[in-house]
């Protein structure tokens, strides 16, 4: 992963560039990075603040031989890789995952991933997994008061290239295990170990329903299992709901 590397000083969005490269036939494992982005995009249609010099903006192009409905699990695989890479670099196990794929340090978000796919019928053309990591950021805009960086957490700077290489190393390892079964069955223990929501009370906000329960961990499909007060265990699919701490 990442052997074919495309780097920009400045671009609109590494996800957009990775998709353009995919359309031109770029190979599986191509990694696109940029020092800054003018149109960085986050999940739920939000913008992703992308100033120069301090963060990682990277998009990994994959051509996986899996069914389109399984591709969303790749976002969780990248979340695990980023959390493990940060923990290795910080010599600590501070980084965890807030389901489904936000990486957090001391309760604040340090990384997010936006996965996009081109597919038809049962066939995936390509998947682009775009990840932003706040590395040496010292100050965030006021509205991002839930964001943090490696620098703000530890007081020291980190080499972005080293962190990118570690993310690729862990992603390659976990992707191999994901490919074997086309689900997360070989990865649930590792994921749940990183999951900061595990054994915590969470509030589940569905479009037409809201309840609290105990988060138990994820299943093989990456759904969060939440035990309601009456003992019933719900399987929550990431696309439909938002989960908050209570
Ligand atoms: C989120 O909302 O948590 C996902 C954020 C994803 C941001 C990254 S930065 C690199 C890539 N390019 C983009 O435009 N978005 C992703």
Ligand 1 atom closest to Cα of residue 15? 12
- The pLDDT of 221-232, averaged and rounded, is 93
Rounded CA gap, 113 and 102, in Å? 7
Half-sphere exposure of 35 (CA within 13 A, CB side): 5
Ligand 1 atom closest to Cα of residue 132? 9
Give 245 or 72, the one with higher predicted confidence: 72
Q: Which domains does the chain have, with CATH numbers?
A: 5-194 (3.30.930.10), 201-245 (2.30.30.100)
Note the pLDDT of residue 162. 97
Residue with tokens 């479009």: 207
Listed range (1-15, 217-231, 232-246) with the worst mean pLDDT: 232-246
Rounded CA gap, 31 and 12, in Å? 16
pTM for the whole structure: 0.94
Q: Using one digit for the tens of pLDDT, what is the confidence trace for 171-193?
A: 999 999 999 999 999 999 999 99
- The pLDDT of 150-162, averaged and rounded, is 96
Ligand 1 atom closest to Cα of residue 43? 2
pLDDT at 41 over 90: yes
Ligand 1 near 33 CB (within 6 A): no
Note the pLDDT of residue 50. 96
Note the pLDDT of residue 169. 97
Is residue 151 classed exposed, middle or buried when 0-12, 13-18 and 19+ CB atoms within 10 A define those classes?
A: middle
Q: Choose which residue among 60, 129, 132 to substitute to test ligand 1 binding: the one with the highest number of ligand atoms within 8 A of its C-beta.
A: 132
């Amino acid at each position: 992963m990442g052997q074919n590397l495309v780097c920009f000083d400045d671009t609109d969005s590494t996800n957009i560039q990775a998709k353009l490269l995919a359309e031109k036939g770029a190979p599986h494992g191509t990694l696109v990075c940029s020092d800054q982005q003018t149109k960085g995009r986050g999940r739920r249609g939000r913008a992703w603040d992308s100033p120069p010099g301090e963060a990682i903006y990277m998009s990994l192009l994959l051509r996986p031989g899996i069914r389109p409905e399984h591709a969303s699990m790749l976002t969780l695989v990248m979340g695990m890789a980023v959390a493990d890479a940060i923990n290795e670099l910080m010599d600590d196990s501070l980084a965890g995952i807030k389901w489904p794929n936000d990486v957090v340090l001391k309760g604040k978000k340090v990384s997010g991933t936006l996965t996009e796919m081109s597919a038809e019928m049962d066939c995936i053309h390509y998947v682009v997994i775009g990840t932003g990591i706040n590395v040496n950021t010292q100050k965030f805009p006021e509205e991002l008061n839930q964001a943090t960086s490696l620098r703000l957490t530890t007081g020291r700077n980190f080499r972005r290239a080293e962190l990118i290489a570690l993310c690729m190393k862990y992603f390659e390892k976990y992707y191999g295990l994901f490919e074997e079964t086309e689900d997360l069955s070989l990865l649930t223990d590792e994921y749940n170990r990183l999951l900061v929501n595990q054994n915590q009370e969470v509030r589940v906000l569905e479009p037409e329903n809201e309840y609290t329960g105990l988060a138990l961990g994820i299943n093989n499909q990456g759904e969060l299992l939440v035990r309601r007060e009456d003992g019933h265990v719900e399987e929550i699919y990431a696309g439909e709901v938002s989960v908050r701490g209570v």
